[in-house]
Amino acid sequence: MIGNKSIKMVILRNIPIILFIAIFLIFGIFSPKFISVDSFKNILVSSSYVGIIAIGIMFVLLTGGIDLSIGSVMYLSAAVTGLSVQKLQVPTVLAIIIGLGIATLVGVINAFLIVILDILPFITTLGMMVFVKAVGLLMTKSESVKLPKVITSMGSQSVLGIPMPIIIFAIIILFGVLFLGKTKLGRQIYAVGNDVEEARKAGIHTKKVLFTCYVMSALFAGIGGIISVAQIGIVNAAFGKGEEFNAIAAAVLGGVSLAGGVGKVFPGVVLGAVMIQMIQAGLVFMQTDLYKQPLISAGIIFLAVFLDSIRSKYIAKAEKRNIRNENKGLQ
């Protein structure tokens, strides 16, 4: 009996992974080529940049905030990197550092406006979304910016058979997991997200926590931008447009609460980012009608979120029951 219960709990806790595998296998039944290492590798490569920016925005979402400027930051940092090489003949590595520096600077400005001047995150980052994009367009004059071969070839380079975007994605995942799980500042982010006042009373420097989150969100957007452009090959003026919503969707699908305080990098956000890409890839593999693809994709995502919410309720109930039973046992 106890064994059954614990099996149920194991299944409940792992519903997202089970669903992920089920979707993968279902697409595989309809299109056998889908179940292959290469196919999965491609899905991971394609979802790597969304995964990176989703991990970045997760820090902000965990605090109950939001960052709408990340799509524009992707554009600006990629454009600055390209222009630094093209116009100023800066070495590629330095150009990347400049691009990421610009992204970090945007994060610092966001953080300053939100944390120090107490302006609402939604308004601040919405304003920055427009401002940063405008700065980028002013610099490029809406023209496409070509990045040097060193960067664009990174999209197709491999180390020990593992594509470079996946390696960078894995490093970011590892960083996110360790930072949130093993560092004091990481754990404080959850505390601030659960209740900022309580966190302050508990002695947490909440401003420092919030500041860090907005800076990291922008920095990760910059990294995501470079990874994306390494694959696309060119920065056009539409680059990064709407990516903030893809990142938020991946994070929420991965179980991050928009109210703050809840969410994990792995499997959570990573699974969310990869699942969205896997569904899209599966539909292309199956050659589903173009008009039906968004409908099916949205349906599967709704199903995933619905199952996840049921799962969370069951787990919460089961845990309450366990605490009551333990208390009774103690009495």
Partner 1 sequence: MKKRVSLLLALVMLATMFVGCADKKGEEGTSTSTSSSEGGSKTIALCTEDLETEFWVAAHKAIVDTLEEQGIKVIETNCQGDANKQLEQVKDVITQNVDGIIVIPKDGDTAVAVTKEANNADIPIVIFNRPPTSDEGANITVVCDNATVAEACVDYMVEEAEKKFDKTGEKLTPLIMVGDLGDPNAIARKEGFYAAIEKKPELFNKVIEVPTEWDAATALANLQSAVQANPDVDFLFTSSDFLFPTIQSVLEPLGKWVKVGEEGHVIMGGLDGDATAGELIDEGIIEGTGVQDVYNEADLAISGILDAIEAGETQPDEIREDPGFALTQGNLKEKRMDMWGNILREQ
Residues of this chain that interact with partner 1 (CB under 8 A) are 31, 33-34, 38-39, 42-43, 45-47, 49, 116-118, 130, 133, 137, 141-144, 146, 152, 155-156, 228, 231-234, 236-239, 241-243, 277, 280-281, 284-285, 287, 290-291, 293
Q: How far is the CB of 49 from partner 1 (least distance, A)?
A: 7
Distant-in-sequence, close-in-space partners of 139: CB < 8 Å, separation ≥ 6: 79, 80, 83
Q: How far is the CB of 125 from partner 1 (least distance, A)?
A: 16
Which one, 194 or 236, has the nearer CB to partner 1? 236
* Cα angle, residue 69 at apex, residues 55 and 242 outer, rounded to 5°: 80
Percent of the chain that is helix, strand, coil (3-state, to 5): 80, 0, 20
Q: How far is the CB of 113 from partner 1 (least distance, A)?
A: 8
* Cα angle, residue 165 at apex, residues 160 and 167 outer, rounded to 5°: 50
Which one, 80 or 154, has the nearer CB to partner 1? 154
Whole-number Å distance between alpha carbons of 228 and 246: 13
Question: Contact 180/186 with Cβ under 8 angstroms?
Answer: yes
Specify the length of the chain in residues: 331
Which one, 115 or 191, has the nearer CB to partner 1? 115
Which one, 42 or 194, has the nearer CB to partner 1? 42
Residue 165, preceding bond cis, omega within 30 degrees?
no
Q: How far is the CB of 237 from partner 1 (least distance, A)?
A: 4
Q: How far is the CB of 166 from partner 1 (least distance, A)?
A: 13
Which one, 154 or 180, has the nearer CB to partner 1? 154
234: left (phi > 0), else alpha (psi -120 to 50), else beta? Answer: beta
Q: How far is the CB of 271 from partner 1 (least distance, A)?
A: 17
Which one, 45 or 196, has the nearer CB to partner 1? 45
